[in-house]
Amino acid sequence: MALTVDTMNQQVVKAEYAVRGRLPMRAAEIRAELAKGSASYPFDELVFCNIGNPQSVGMVPLTFNREVLALLMAPHLLEKGEAMVSAGLMSAEAVARAREYQSKGANVGAYTDSIGFSFVRDEVCDMLEARDGHRVNPLHIFLTNGASEGVRLMMTALGASHLGGKVGVMTPIPQYPLYSALTTLIDGELVGYYLDEAEGWAISEEALRQSHAKATAEGVQVRALVVINPGNPSGANLDAATLEMVAKFAHEKGLVLMADEVYQENVFTDHPFVSLSRVVRELGLPVEIASMHSLSKGFLGECGVRGGYAVFENFDEGVLAQFVKMKSIELCSNTVGQLSVGLMVRPPTADAKPLYDQEVADVLAGLRERADILTKTMNSLDGISMPPIGGAMYAFPQVTLPPGAQKAADAQGVPADEFYCMQALENTGLVVVPGSGFQQQPGTFHFRTTFLPQPTAKMEKALGAFASFHNDFMAKHA
């Protein structure tokens, strides 16, 4: 064979992505067994809480957005727009928006500029100006296939092995595995800084300084600082004072800031979401900052559409030209995703608005309700502790596993939290991800779960089964 696992790029082999690891693979096997009726489990369906994939577990897409996309995907329907409005099949505003986009060149079957439709980038500029009070150059906005593409572009640029030594990327621990995987692919060093679980997964300046100092002493070139806000998997929503501290630290150390802000619409705290870009601007710091957003989360949940944007501020123009070149190599991101970004940042204001607002309110209210149910359930169980959920779609409960569980896990050659989560899966049908896949403080065990499954009764049933499992597990392995 010309290419084998031994002869291929070893950074690919080393890269891991726990969100789609052994637990989901086992879940897929169980789902197939249930479908065939070839095995007996104490449940008749799986409840997937392992991944932030809202529409796969009951979220319904927003009507206005899908109407506009349908009309643009099928121009012959748009030609009959008035008739469809009269028949009650479309809102007049959806027809008007589709025609507007069409007049601006929204041909979904053709390539666009490498960085995306200019009119959509202008709409992103409008939204950012309304949100943060400053206007970004539209040439510094790239439309991407989800936020992960923007992260990958930035990480690829950071991988400068020719400078000598490992390139370090400071990332919150627990971290979203995208960052560890991409750091491995660029042969870099993940420089983790521990979030403070006792303070609701806050970022402390002490943790940043300790992490940076240790990596630097080991010869790592620390070049970037990742902030995930609201947090994944932590579920925290950072306040403005914390973000100011982070921005000043990045400026002091000469770091590129990477602001992963895909959950900015999912906030449950008294204080609102504040963008890191706004903080940097208001402090007047010349810090290079790349901010990412996505269609996949928030109240849209359009994971499969693969749309998002990255905003690059305070970067050298020569570097930006290289970013454009990298984006040009893949020609452009998908056009449906690009147009969906426009629909995300510019919601309806006319006849489609009442239904749109109601649908958004229902989604957000449902998330808050299920977050409350999850919090109450977890904190009612002996051996589990969990801070209040501040935002995003996740929680990261800590489990104090008894010695017997750790011994049983060692016998199977798996991390103790993976053993626990696998037992939960096979006994309750609840699919979660062990904390070891996100990294965690040594000696602690966690798991990440979403609170997405709908209807709420389905999640309540699964959590009830989980509570019974947990109590039995703790007694069995005490």
Each residue's pLDDT tens digit, 41-86? 888 888 888 888 888 888 899 999 999 999 999 999 999 999 989 9
Q: Give 138's DSSP letter.
A: G
Asked if residue 350 belongs to a domain, the reply is: no
Rounded to two decimals, the pTM is 0.90
Residues 454 and 409 in one domain: yes
The CB-side HSE value for 318 (13 A sphere, CA atoms) comes to 0
Q: Is the pLDDT of residue 15 over 80?
A: no
Residues 363 and 442 in one domain: yes
Count of beta carbons in the 10 Å neighbourhood of residue 173: 19
Residues 401 and 468 in one domain: yes
Question: Looking up tokens 């084998």, which residue turns up?
Answer: 4
Residues 204 and 97 in one domain: no
**Percentage of the chain lying above the pLDDT 70 cut:** 95
Residues 96 and 168 in one domain: no
423-451 pLDDT, tens digit each = 999 999 889 989 988 888 888 999 999 88
144-185 pLDDT, tens digit each = 998 989 998 888 888 866 666 788 999 999 988 888 888 888
Among residues 472, 396, 470, which one has the least CA distance to residue 436?
396
Read off φ and ψ for residue 399, nearest 5 degrees. -115, 125
What does pLDDT average to over the chain? 90
Count of beta carbons in the 10 Å neighbourhood of residue 225: 28
Whole-number Å distance between alpha carbons of 289 and 441: 28
Furthest CA-CA distance within the chain: 70
Strand partners for 170? 191, 225
Asked if residue 446 belongs to a domain, the reply is: yes
Q: pLDDT category, 227, cuts 50, 70, 90?
A: very high
Q: Is the pLDDT of residue 8 over 70?
A: no
Measured CA to CA in angstroms, residue 145 lies from 97, 153, 295, 330 at distances of: 22, 11, 9, 11
Residue range 112-132: mean pLDDT, rounded: 96
For residue 263, what are the domain limits? 118-345
Q: pLDDT category, 20, cuts 50, 70, 90?
A: low
Residues 224 and 334 in one domain: yes
Provide the angle, in degrees to the nearest 10, between the axes of the packed helices 147-158 and 177-185: 40
249-307 pLDDT, tens digit each = 999 999 999 999 999 999 999 899 999 999 999 999 999 999 999 999 888 888 889 99
Residues 169 and 25 in one domain: no
Asked if residue 201 belongs to a domain, the reply is: yes
Q: Is the pLDDT of residue 4 over 60?
A: no
Q: Which pLDDT score is estimated for 275?
A: 96
Q: Are 246 and 276 in contact (CB under 8 A)?
A: yes
Residues 127 and 222 in one domain: yes
Asked if residue 351 belongs to a domain, the reply is: no
Q: Which pLDDT score is estimated for 12?
A: 65
Q: Are 395 and 386 in contact (CB under 8 A)?
A: yes
Count up the domains in the chain and report the number. Answer: 3
How many Å from the N-terminal Cα to the C-terminal Cα in the chain? 50
Listed in sequence order, the residues at least 6 apart from 212 whose beta carbon sits closer than 8 Å to its beta carbon are: 170, 191, 193, 222, 253
Whole-number Å distance between alpha carbons of 39 and 46: 14
364-399 pLDDT, tens digit each = 999 999 999 999 999 999 999 999 999 888 999 999
Q: pLDDT category, 13, cuts 50, 70, 90?
A: low
Residues 97 and 122 in one domain: no
Asked if residue 4 belongs to a domain, the reply is: no
Among residues 161, 188, 194, 157, which one has the least CA distance to residue 175?
194
